[in-house]
């Protein structure tokens, strides 16, 4: 983070309940800090195996364009359903692998903090699928707030504005300069 002030927040969205929870945090932070909020949806072409059967480059390009258009439409519908605080986020739809697209956008736009949900997958599924959140946590050049499904006593949403209210925070340290900065 360039300063102590949060001015630019990125919230990747995959339309799951986990990203909806992360969006609640991101919009609350954006409201609190009067920050710009970017929401990003990444179209991963590997999730669309029918693209392998495109009969021509033209058909392939049209299909990719349609996927991006659908992603943008779905992102705008998501935001209408989850409107909070009067925050007007900037919608970004990109194509690529999720983690790489998130990291690239965060670097290009000098994002101060990334807020994203975590699905909490374990075991064999995690080994095969990997974790976008884990990769972003390891590779991001800015702080990342990973929002898991939390027990009700840890966090509540205020009814009036939908602000996220944290009741418990744990700060882990190895006494390095980096962990002391994170603590601050």
For residue 163, the model assigns a pLDDT of: 67
Q: What is the pLDDT of residue 85?
A: 67
| pLDDT given for residue 155 in this prediction | 53
Q: Report the pLDDT value the prediction gives residue 131, as an integer from 0 to 100.
A: 81
- Chunked into runs of 10 residues, the chain (184 residues) has average pLDDT values of 77 89 90 93 75 68 84 90 80 92 96 87 54 88 84 49 66 78 72
Distance separating alpha carbons of residues 44 and 30, to the nearest angstrom: 27
Going by the DSSP 8-state scheme, the letter that residue 53 receives in this structure is G
DSSP state of 89: P
CATH architecture of 8-150: 3-Layer(aba) Sandwich (3.40)
99, 86, 5, 78: CA torsion to nearest 10: -10
* Rounded Cα distance, 161 and 59, in Å: 46
Determine the Cα–Cα distance for residues 84 and 29; give it in Å rounded to an integer: 11
Unique residue bearing structure tokens 């990203």: 19
Query: For the chain, what are the domain ranges?
Result: 8-150
């Amino acid at each position: 983070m360039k300063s102590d002030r949060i001015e630019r927040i990125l919230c990747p969205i995959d339309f799951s309940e986990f990203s909806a929870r992360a969006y609640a945090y991101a919009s609350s932070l954006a409201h609190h800090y009067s920050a710009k909020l970017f929401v990003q949806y990444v179209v991963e072409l590997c999730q669309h195996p029918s693209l392998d059967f495109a009969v021509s480059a033209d058909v392939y390009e049209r299909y990719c364009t349609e996927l991006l258009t659908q992603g943008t439409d779905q992102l705008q519908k998501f935001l209408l359903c989850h409107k909070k605080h009067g925050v007007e986020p900037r919608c970004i739809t990109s194509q690529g692998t999720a983690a790489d697209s998130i990291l690239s956008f965060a670097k290009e736009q000098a994002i101060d903090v990334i807020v994203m949900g975590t699905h909490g997958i374990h075991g064999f599924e995690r080994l095969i699928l990997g974790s976008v959140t884990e990769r972003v946590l390891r590779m991001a050049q800015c702080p990342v707030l990973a929002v898991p499904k939390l027990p009700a006593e840890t966090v509540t949403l205020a009814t009036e504005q939908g602000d996220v209210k944290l009741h418990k925070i744990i700060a882990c340290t190895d006494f390095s300069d980096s962990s002391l900065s994170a603590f601050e």
